[in-house]
Amino acid sequence: MRNLFIFLWDNRFFTLFLILETISVGLLSTSYSYQRSLSYSLTNDISGSLLKTYSDLSDYFYLKEENKQLLEDNANLRNQVAGSFLATDTSTVYLDTLYRFLPARIISITNKMQMNRIIIDKGKIHGIKKEMGVIGKDGIVGIVIGVSDHYSTLMSALSRNANFSAMIKQNGQLVNVSWPGDNYLYGEINDIPSHIQLLEGDTIVSSGNSIIFPKGIIIGYVVEHQKREDKDLSKAKIRFSVDFNKLHHVYIVKNLMKHELDSLIMQTYNE
């Protein structure tokens, strides 16, 4: 034992190197899988408030663009309020308030890594919890994986292990959308049954099967569909509807029934 310590001390440069690398790789591996990243995130109020100060300043540069987008957003919402429909129009169904949307601002975002993270300026005190969905004006953005008092971290849709339950809008066929990890503009669908032929421009929307996102939120549009004769499932490339490079404001999706649904699922598991 004593000899071991002497050996370690004699090679202390190498020993310290090994120790520090082990710590780093340990940290890295805890954040690698989605499940584990839920229990581990570096989100904290110190780095958060610094990033926020910066984005407060830099946001001035995007004011014009932002205003334009807010106007568009407003116009869309106006189209949906009751007054916009004829009184005789019975085709509109008013959904019960299953989802609430909470606006938030992005204070830090990456899109060139394999696991991209977004930090937003809403946290525990605003009622944000892990596993809430986040959408932008144009579509799905990500899922909350870390929460501090005032800030939260999202796993962006641009994460190699992110998998979104989606469907093809035209026929309701369920598929999974993932991100291959190279270009932030394009995603991938891996499990398209052989009898389905997708066309360029087909819309892929959220399925609503996961209780994270409401049904029908746009994820992207099909760019190309490679059909393979020898395989049952084929692949398609999609273009994300959200431009992650121009994202500044998002909405957090609160599912008001999540608690009930979760306990229901637990109940089934326990029996």
Strand partners, 177: 164, 189
Question: For residues 6-35, which are near other proteins according to CB under 8 A?
Answer: 12-13, 16-17, 20-21, 23-32
Radius of gyration of the chain from its Cα atoms, rounded to whole angstroms: 22
Is 63 near other proteins (CB under 8 A)? no
* Binding segment toward other proteins, per CB under 8 A, in 41-49, 64-72, 97-105, 261-269: 41-49
Q: Based on CB atoms, which residue is closest to other proteins, 235 or 258?
A: 235
* Binding segment toward other proteins, per CB under 8 A, in 42-50, 59-67, 225-233, 251-259: 42-50
Q: Based on CB atoms, which residue is closest to other proteins, 22 or 170?
A: 22
Closest separation in Å from C-beta 150 to other proteins: 15
Site size toward other proteins (CB under 8 A) is 43
Hey, how many other C-beta atoms are within 10 angstroms of the C-beta on 151?
A: 27
At residue 19, φ and ψ (nearest 5 deg) are: -60, -50
User: Which whole-number Å values give the CA distances from 43 to 23, 46, 76, 198, in the listed order?
Assistant: 18, 9, 34, 40
Question: For residues 111-130, which are near other proteins according to CB under 8 A?
Answer: 111-115, 117, 119
Q: Based on CB atoms, which residue is closest to other proteins, 9 or 269?
A: 9
Is 47 near other proteins (CB under 8 A)? yes
User: Which whole-number Å values give the CA distances from 184 to 12, 26, 105, in the listed order?
Assistant: 43, 27, 20
Is 108 near other proteins (CB under 8 A)? yes
Hey, how many other C-beta atoms are within 10 angstroms of the C-beta on 138?
A: 17
Half-sphere exposure of residue 156: CA atoms within 13 angstroms, side-chain side: 27
Between CA 227 and CA 238, with CA 232 as vertex, the angle to 5 degrees is 45
Q: Based on CB atoms, which residue is closest to other proteins, 25 or 71?
A: 25
Hey, how many other C-beta atoms are within 10 angstroms of the C-beta on 254?
A: 17
Which residues in this chain contact other proteins in the complex, by CB under 8 A? 12-13, 16-17, 20-21, 23-32, 40-44, 47, 50-51, 54, 58, 108, 110-115, 117, 119, 146, 153, 181-185, 245
